[in-house]
Protein backbone atom coordinates (compact mmCIF):
# COMPACT_ATOMS: atom_id res chain seq x y z
CA UNK A 1 0.00 0.00 0.00
CA UNK A 2 1.40 3.39 -1.01
CA UNK A 3 1.55 6.13 1.59
CA UNK A 4 -1.15 8.67 0.67
CA UNK A 5 1.04 11.48 1.98
CA UNK A 6 4.06 10.57 -0.14
CA UNK A 7 4.73 12.69 -3.20
CA UNK A 8 4.61 10.84 -6.53
CA UNK A 9 8.07 9.82 -7.81
CA UNK A 10 7.66 12.22 -10.77
CA UNK A 11 7.74 15.17 -8.37
CA UNK A 12 10.78 14.07 -6.35
CA UNK A 13 13.36 14.68 -9.07
CA UNK A 14 13.26 18.49 -9.07
CA UNK A 15 11.10 21.60 -8.99
CA UNK A 16 7.49 21.33 -10.09
CA UNK A 17 4.53 23.60 -10.63
CA UNK A 18 1.22 23.54 -8.81
CA UNK A 19 -0.40 22.40 -12.05
CA UNK A 20 2.02 19.47 -12.35
CA UNK A 21 1.35 18.45 -8.73
CA UNK A 22 -2.41 18.61 -9.19
CA UNK A 23 -2.13 16.57 -12.42
CA UNK A 24 -0.45 13.86 -10.31
CA UNK A 25 -3.36 13.95 -7.84
CA UNK A 26 -1.56 15.94 -5.15
CA UNK A 27 -3.95 18.25 -3.29
CA UNK A 28 -2.84 21.84 -2.77
CA UNK A 29 -2.79 21.37 1.02
CA UNK A 30 -0.24 18.54 0.68
CA UNK A 31 2.28 21.08 -0.62
CA UNK A 32 2.25 22.80 2.81
CA UNK A 33 4.02 19.87 4.51
CA UNK A 34 7.62 20.12 5.71
CA UNK A 35 9.06 18.00 2.87
CA UNK A 36 8.05 20.55 0.19
CA UNK A 37 9.38 24.08 -0.16
CA UNK A 38 7.51 26.85 -1.96
CA UNK A 39 10.08 28.49 -4.22
CA UNK A 40 7.85 31.05 -5.90
CA UNK A 41 4.23 31.56 -6.90
CA UNK A 42 2.95 28.15 -8.05
CA UNK A 43 6.48 26.69 -7.95
CA UNK A 44 7.62 24.07 -5.43
CA UNK A 45 10.52 21.72 -4.85
CA UNK A 46 11.10 18.65 -2.73
CA UNK A 47 13.28 19.51 0.28
CA UNK A 48 15.82 16.79 -0.59
CA UNK A 49 16.39 18.07 -4.13
CA UNK A 50 19.92 19.16 -4.98
CA UNK A 51 19.90 22.42 -6.93
CA UNK A 52 20.57 22.18 -10.67
CA UNK A 53 20.36 25.45 -12.61
CA UNK A 54 18.88 23.92 -15.77
CA UNK A 55 16.09 22.11 -13.90
CA UNK A 56 15.33 25.19 -11.81
CA UNK A 57 15.18 27.44 -14.88
CA UNK A 58 12.88 24.98 -16.68
CA UNK A 59 10.48 24.82 -13.73
CA UNK A 60 10.47 28.61 -13.25
CA UNK A 61 9.76 29.08 -16.95
CA UNK A 62 6.82 26.66 -16.74
CA UNK A 63 5.40 28.54 -13.74
CA UNK A 64 5.82 32.02 -15.21
CA UNK A 65 3.13 33.41 -17.51
CA UNK A 66 4.35 34.47 -20.93
CA UNK A 67 4.06 37.95 -22.44
CA UNK A 68 0.50 39.08 -22.92
CA UNK A 69 -1.01 36.42 -20.65
CA UNK A 70 -3.39 37.39 -17.90
CA UNK A 71 -3.17 35.97 -14.39
Of 46, 49, 48, residue with least CA distance to 38: 46
Output the pLDDT for position 56.
75
How far apart, in whole angstroms, are the C-alpha atoms of residue 15 and residue 17? 7
Output the pLDDT for position 46.
93
Instruction: Give the pLDDT band of residue 68 (cuts 50, 70, 90).
Output: low
Strand 36-40's sheet: what is its strand order? 16-17, 43-46, 36-40
Q: How much is the pTM?
A: 0.70
Q: What pLDDT digit, counting tens, does each position of 19-57 carry?
A: 999 999 999 999 999 999 998 889 999 998 877 778 778
Rounded to an integer, the average pLDDT of 50-65 is 78
How far apart, in whole angstroms, are the C-alpha atoms of residue 42 and residue 31? 10
How far apart, in whole angstroms, are the C-alpha atoms of residue 61 and residue 8? 22
Output the pLDDT for position 53.
76
Amino acid sequence: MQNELALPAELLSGPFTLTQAQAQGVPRGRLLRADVERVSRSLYRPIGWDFELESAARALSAATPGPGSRT
